[in-house]
Structure 1
Amino acid sequence: MTLASYETEIADSGREARERERDALNYGIDLLKCLQAGELTPIEQIEALLFIRRLWTFFIQDLSSPRNGLPEALRAELISIGLWIIRDADRLRHDKATDVDQLIAVNVTIRDALT
């Protein structure tokens, strides 16, 4: 394998990873929008919020890894955002909050920033 083809392979795998992250965020955003619209049963509501929690737990674990290629300051900011998302999803799950708008907006912003 030549250096150029190796670099292309790495770039392709990075794009594929971002695409998977976008797909997961899209799914989570769709669940949150259904929750907001009152289209989910109580069990589905819990499952939607747990999905967001698990997704961001995964992102935080990845961002915490020294092998993550993002700049350290950006990783720290995204971890902070992820912790907020997890806390907010937990508040919604435990009926201590009712506004899903901010949770949707933050996830949309993160999704749209993935390039």
Structure 2
Amino acid sequence: MYQFSYAEVAQDTAVDARERERQAFDHSIALLEKAEKSGPRSRDAIEAIYITRSLWSILVEDLGSADNGLPEELRAELISIGLWIMSEAEAIRVGKSTNFKGIVEITRLIRDGLN
């Protein structure tokens, strides 16, 4: 019988977590791109904004936790980005912006930076 070391299990868990994060970003990006085509007042936009804000809300909360393993400066930068994305999504929701592209570009950069 093969026994896994704690380090192997912890590494697998980190890899799995990064993959889930990547999938969540991919889902948000796909919804935002669809919403951009459908227009800012569309049902697609409502869904994209809701999912994007929910995703970033969860990420910001996790990044703000002392238990988060990322360096403090990186966490602060990601929190700032997340707050900007949530603010921009809210601006789209209330009709003050149509900047889907900006949110998509930043989200792609963050997704592509996952190791």
When normalised by structure 1's length, the TM-score is 0.92
Map Cα deviations across residues 53-83 of structure 1 (whole Å, 9 max, x no partner). Answer: 0000000011011110000000000000000
Spell out the pairing of 1:1-115 with structure 2 (5 A cutoff).
5-38=5-38, 42-115=42-115
Gaps (5+ residues) in structure 2?
A: none
How far apart, CA to CA, are the structure 2 residues paired with 1:13 and 1:22?
14
How far apart, CA to CA, are the structure 2 residues paired with 1:94 and 1:71?
35
Q: CA deviation at 1:99?
A: 2.2
Give the total of aligned pairs: 114
Q: Are the equivalent residues in 2 in contact too, given 1:34–1:40 (CA < 8 A)?
A: no
How far apart, CA to CA, are the structure 2 residues paired with 1:29 and 1:99?
13
CA RMSD across the alignment = 1.9
Q: CA deviation at 1:43?
A: 2.4
Among all aligned residue pairs of Structure 1 and Structure 2, give the percentage whose two residues are the same amino acid: 42
Q: Secondary structure at the match of 1:81?
A: helix
Q: Secondary structure at the match of 1:37?
A: helix
Gaps (5+ residues) in structure 1?
A: none
Q: CA deviation at 1:39?
A: 7.2
How far apart, CA to CA, are the structure 2 residues paired with 1:88 and 1:100?
9
Q: Secondary structure at the match of 1:70?
A: coil
Map Cα deviations across residues 3-47 of structure 1 (whole Å, 9 max, x no partner). Answer: x81111111100100000000000000001101122797223112
